[in-house]
Amino acid sequence: MIFHLTKKIIIILVVFFSTAVYANEDGDSKHEQHEAHVHGKAEMNILIDEKTFIFELNSPALNFLGFEHEPETNEEKETVNQVSKMLLDYKNIISIPGMNCEKSQIEISVPYGDEKEEDGHHHGENDDDEHSEYYLFYSIACKDINNIEQINIKLFDNFHGFESVDVKWTYFTDAGSLEATKEQKIIKIK
């Protein structure tokens, strides 16, 4: 039991912190884009182990909202609200065909607002920076996770600002990467 827990912790640390090498030079590690802030692009890390499916996504706000400034009009404020509601359901980001899964933990950092929430809630960040970003973290409990064959990236269908997503995944002891696009939005795990 302790061996499996230790193994799981090590895998999580490797997947989620291995990209820290790319953090920016000023040392501020508060939910940063690991590479340069590029509109249309995002980064996703996926960890699949035993009964848990964990993924995180870093993306410029423009990809979700169509703008990157503090919302000024009622229409922009409504867009932020609608996107925030959509992000509470991981199925608007990915789908796992054939799996019986339910969310167990969500952390969402949004670029505008000051709400603070956990488990289905969001943290507001008001940087006054011209580059606003979303950081999403989902932990999903799945039954029979050994049978995952593919993951479908739903971002392209639900948020039209995405051109590509750099996806890195670890599936038990296997690992891989793929640049998902509108044309190639299926990740084959097996």
- This model's pTM is above 0.85: no
Residue 49 lies in a domain: yes
Residue 28 lies in a domain: no
- The residue range of the domain holding 49 is 2-22+42-188
Residue 116 lies in a domain: yes
pLDDT for 49 equals 87
pLDDT for 48 equals 92
Residue 35 lies in a domain: no
pLDDT for 130 equals 63
Residue 107 lies in a domain: yes
How many structural domains are present in the chain?
1
Token reading at 105: 């933990």
Residue 104 lies in a domain: yes
Number of neighbours of residue 33 by Cβ within 10 angstroms: 19
Number of neighbours of residue 31 by Cβ within 10 angstroms: 17
pLDDT for 107 equals 94
Are 121 and 115 a contacting pair, CB within 8 Å? yes
Residue 36 lies in a domain: no
Below-70 pLDDT ranges, the chain: 1-37, 113-131
- Ordered DSSP codes for the chain: -HHHHHHHHHHHHHHHHGGGGGS-TT---SS--SS---TTEEEEEEEEETTEEEEEEEEEHHHHHS--S---SHHHHHHHHHHHHHHTSGGGTEE-TT-EEEEEEEEEEESS-----SSSEEEE-----SS-EEEEEEEEEEETGGG--EEEE-HHHH-TT-SEEEEEEEETTEEEEEEEESS--EEE--
pLDDT for 154 equals 96
One-letter amino acid of 58: N
Residue 27 lies in a domain: no
